[in-house]
Amino acid sequence: GAVVSQHPSWVICKSGTSVKIECRSLDFQATTMFWYRQFPKQSLMLMATSNEGSKATYEQGVEKDKFLINHASLTLSTLTVTSAHPEDSSFYICSASPSGTGVDEKLFFGSGTQLSVL
């Protein structure tokens, strides 16, 4: 199956700093990628839809100025958590599906990034 690479796997940072997470589709092009967040023992919650060459679409309640998304190429989307605070500590996961596939096609997930803000 298609491979989605996510980096870093885990990061620890001080409160107030910014953290960038990368999501790459290794063997396919993805015009759309999705960013999810998962708190302990909870399900994945969609944060935003990343669109190549245009602005991301954020879900209700997600601050676009805090979670900056850039999708500059067909294989790379980045999520930057700006001025991180302890409540931002979570497991962040990206996903993508090959461009041109129908809406019923499966999504492939990155390995996730565990963010801990001290």
Partner 1 sequence: QKEVEQNSGPLSVPEGAIASLNCTYSDRVSQSFFWYRQYSGKSPELIMSIYSNGDKEDGRFTAQLNKASQYVSLLIRDSQPSDSATYLCAGSQPGRRALTFGSGTRLQVQP
Binding site for partner 1 (CB under 8 A): 1, 6, 32, 34, 36, 42-46, 49, 91, 93, 95, 97, 103-112, 114
Closer residue to partner 1 (CB): 16 or 24: 24
> What values do phi and psi take at 87, rounded to 5?
-70, -10
Nearer to partner 1, 17 or 111 (CB): 111
Task: Name, in order, each residue with C-beta under 8 angstroms of 83's C-beta and a sequence gap of 6 or more.
Answer: 16, 17, 18, 66
Residue type, position 12, single letter:
I
Shortest CB 95 distance to partner 1, Å: 8
Taking the complex as a whole, the smallest distance from the CB of residue 33 to partner 1 amounts, in Å, to 10
Q: Could you tell me which of 96, 105, 101, 106 has the C-alpha nearest to residue 74?
A: 96
Decide whether 17 or 42 has the Cβ nearer to partner 1. Answer: 42
